[in-house]
């Protein structure tokens, strides 16, 4: 059986996946086959004098069946590749936030440099029959950089974030180069059918790609397979966590604390794509329009710190502090605060208990590749008395989770109405909807995701046997 080589911006401990969708899913796929996980160590080395020569050395360690190989980044690469191109160009644009993008010309050079560095350091570690699986927007040109060095392995790519429509993509000055480099992969996996449609429209209109079949495109002298592989959760592991001591303790504590209240929950990274200010506004609208919720409904919003060195995240933090302060000031009572806003991570083992104690989950991103919190919330519910999911139609998860209450998060009134409907829904309807949702996320769980993607990669028809392809020169 081919060895699996996973490449992602950051690696993690495959036995103890930290918070973050990618870490959870990648850890899972490596545990299935054993293999190599390659990425940035998270460390930054300041370049001065003779230390410069050492900053790109790799560190290797073995964890269970997995070999972890990492490298440090120089400060300049960290600033241009990670903070710059990945998180100030690609992240905002792919989430439709052109207003937040910073097209500083130095960023793309750092992005190319780090992708080339990854390729140079990874190549000597590869065996000829390794299956390589590259993850996410940080590493779009990695296959092209590997091919330029002669790598002929099967290489697959999975984009965890949305693929924007062609005209939004075209705002990136280097969009042609970026999209062309995707054709160095054998298989490109996206989260949803609408992402696939956007990608196909882009390459058909901008690169005159030929659609060979539903999933096969030909452009730049290469044939590429593309498809939707919606990521799932490890549902059995999640149910186990819900039933373990920490999960149960958390559930009982929250039930006791909020026995007279209706609990609403949001769990996110503090990111502008997650629609947090709009969510708090919708909750405020709920209190204004449906006064029976005053002194009764409490929104717990957990927002873990994220990318604090990128300016837009700082602005969001201030905005959330002020919105939550205002709603508590306007509506709070001596014995009730409408919003509990917690700017910290919650331990993973406690999350299921928190989900289960909540009547309603608010998962209302303005744009999201998938959103695993929506799936985790459903998995953690008591099937005999489940809570209700209010879900943004702009999350990739909305394509699968049609029985949730789907909302437009920009529509504050509409979202408030949906929250009220969720809070007052009959037990029969909640049970019916939950049943349908649970069976769908059980069928398409993380095991299904990994095996479907990897099977497709193993069997994809490679049209280049080995070596660099003509369009990769100059990367
Ligand atoms: P993220 O944007 O990080 O992932 P998400 O899918 O919601 O978003 O995954 C978050 C994971 O981190 C979940 O497992 C959740 O439980 C955990 N988490 C989030 N906030 C937390 C908090 N405050 N405390 C503790 N745990 C927290 C990217 C894409 C998503 C896509 C995933 C996976 O942006 O659209 O679903 O990758 O592909």
Tell me, in angstroms, the distance from the centre of ligand 1 to residue 370's CA: 9
Residues 110 and 197 in one domain: yes
Examine residue 469 and state whether it is found in any structural domain, yes or no.
Answer: no
Judged by average pLDDT, the poorest of 239-248, 362-371, 389-398 is 239-248
| Ligand 1 pocket residue status of 346, Cβ below 6 Å | yes
CATH number at residue 139: 3.40.50.2000
| Ligand 1 contacts CB of residue 234 (under 6 A) | no
CA angle at residue 180 from 176 to 183, to 5 degrees?
160
Same domain, 245 and 379: yes
Residue 469 has pLDDT above 80, yes or no: no
Lookup: tokens for 213: 């079949």
pLDDT at 462: 79
Q: What is the mean pLDDT of the chain?
A: 91
Task: Please check whether residues 391 and 454 belong to one and the same domain.
Answer: no
The confidence score (pLDDT) of residue 474 equals 36
- Is the predicted pLDDT of residue 437 greater than 80, yes or no? yes
Instruction: Quick: pLDDT tens for 117-126.
Output: 999 999 999 9
The domain total for the chain is 2
Question: Which pLDDT value is given to residue 56?
Answer: 66
- Residue 190 vs residues 194, 228, 389: alpha-carbon distances, Å: 9, 5, 24
Give the model's pLDDT for residue 155.
98
Among 269, 302, 398, name the best residue to mutate to test ligand 1's pocket (greatest count of ligand atoms within 8 A of Cβ).
269
Residue 473 within a domain: no
Cα gap 369→367, rounded to integer Å = 7
| Residue 141, pLDDT above cutoff 70 | yes
* Confidence label for 214 from pLDDT (cuts 50, 70 and 90): confident
> Is 468 within a domain?
no
Q: Which residues are catalytic?
A: 160, 368
Residues 226 and 288 in one domain: no
The residue to mutate among 18, 21, 159, having the most atoms of ligand 1 within 8 angstroms of its beta carbon, is 21
pLDDT of 280-324, one tens digit each? 999 999 999 999 999 999 999 999 998 888 888 989 999 999 999
Structural domain of 173: 4-232+448-458
Instruction: From 261, 273, 423, 393, select the one nearest 339 (Cα to Cα).
Output: 261
Give the model confidence (pLDDT) of 44-98 as tens digits. 988 765 545 555 689 999 988 889 999 999 999 999 999 999 999 999 999 999 9
What is the radius of gyration, based on Cα positions, of the chain?
23
pLDDT at 165: 97
Residue 415 pLDDT > 70: yes
CA of 342 to the centre of ligand 1 (A): 16
268 shares a domain with 208:
no
Q: For residues 380 and 387, what is the distance between their CA atoms, to the nearest angstrom?
A: 9
Question: Is residue 470 a part of any domain in this protein?
Answer: no
Sole residue written with tokens 């160095």: 184
**Minimum CA distance residue for ligand 1 atom 23:** 304
| Residue 465 placed within a domain | no
Residue 17: what pLDDT? 53
Q: Is residue 236 very low, low, confident or very high in pLDDT (cuts 50, 70, 90)?
A: confident
């Amino acid at each position: 059986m081919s060895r699996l080589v996973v490449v992602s911006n950051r690696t993690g401990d495959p036995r103890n996946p930290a918070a973050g969708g990618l870490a959870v899913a990648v850890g899972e796929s490596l545990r299935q086959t054993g293999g190599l996980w390659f990425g940035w160590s998270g460390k930054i080395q300041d370049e001065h004098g003779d230390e410069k020569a050492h900053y790109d050395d790799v560190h290797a360690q073995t964890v269970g069946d997995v070999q972890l190989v990492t490298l440090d980044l120089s400060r300049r690469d960290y600033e241009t590749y990670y903070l710059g191109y990945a998180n100030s160009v690609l992240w905002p644009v792919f989430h439709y936030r052109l207003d937040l993008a910073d097209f500083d010309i130095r960023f793309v050079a750092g992005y190319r440099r780090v992708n080339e560095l990854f390729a140079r350091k990874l190549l000597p570690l590869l065996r000829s029959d390794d299956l390589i699986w590259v993850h996410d927007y940080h590493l779009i040109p990695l296959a092209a950089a590997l091919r330029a060095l002669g790598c002929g392995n099967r290489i697959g790519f999975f984009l965890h974030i949305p693929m924007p429509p062609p005209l939004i993509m075209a705002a990136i000055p280097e969009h042609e180069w970026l999209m062309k480099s995707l054709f160095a992969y054998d298989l490109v996996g996206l989260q949803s059918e609408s992402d696939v449609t956007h990608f196909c429209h882009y390459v058909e209109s901008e690169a005159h790609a030929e659609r060979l079949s539903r999933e096969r495109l030909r452009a730049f002298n290469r044939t590429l397979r593309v498809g939707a592989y919606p990521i799932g959760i490890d549902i059995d592991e999640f149910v186990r966590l819900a039933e373990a001591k920490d999960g149960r303790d958390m559930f009982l504590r929250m039930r006791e604390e909020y026995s007279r209240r209706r609990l609403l929950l949001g769990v996110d990274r503090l990111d502008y794509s997650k629609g947090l200010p709009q969510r708090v506004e919708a909750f405020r609208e709920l209190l204004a329009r449906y006064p029976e919720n005053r002194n009764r409904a409490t929104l717990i919003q957990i927002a873990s710190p994220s990318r604090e060195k990128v300016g837009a995240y700082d602005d969001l933090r201030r905005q959330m502090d002020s919105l939550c302060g205002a709603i508590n000031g306007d509506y709070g009572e001596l014995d009730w605060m409408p919003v509990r806003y917690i700017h910290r991570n919650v331990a993973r083992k406690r999350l299921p208990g928190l989900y289960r104690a909540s009547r309603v989950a608010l998962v209302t991103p303005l744009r999201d590749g998938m959103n695993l919190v929506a799936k985790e919330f459903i998995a953690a519910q008591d099937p005999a008395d489940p809570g209700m999911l209010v879900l943004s139609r702009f999350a990739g998860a909305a394509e699968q989770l049609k029985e949730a209450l789907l909302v437009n998060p920009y529509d504050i009134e509409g979202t408030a109405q949906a929250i009220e409907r969720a809070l007052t829904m009959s037990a029969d309807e909640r049970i019916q909807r939950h049943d349908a949702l649970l069976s769908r996320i059980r069928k398409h769980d993380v095991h299904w995701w990994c095996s479907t993607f990897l099977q497709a990669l193993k069997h994809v028809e490679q049209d280049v046997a080995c070596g660099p392809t003509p369009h990769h020169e100059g990367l």
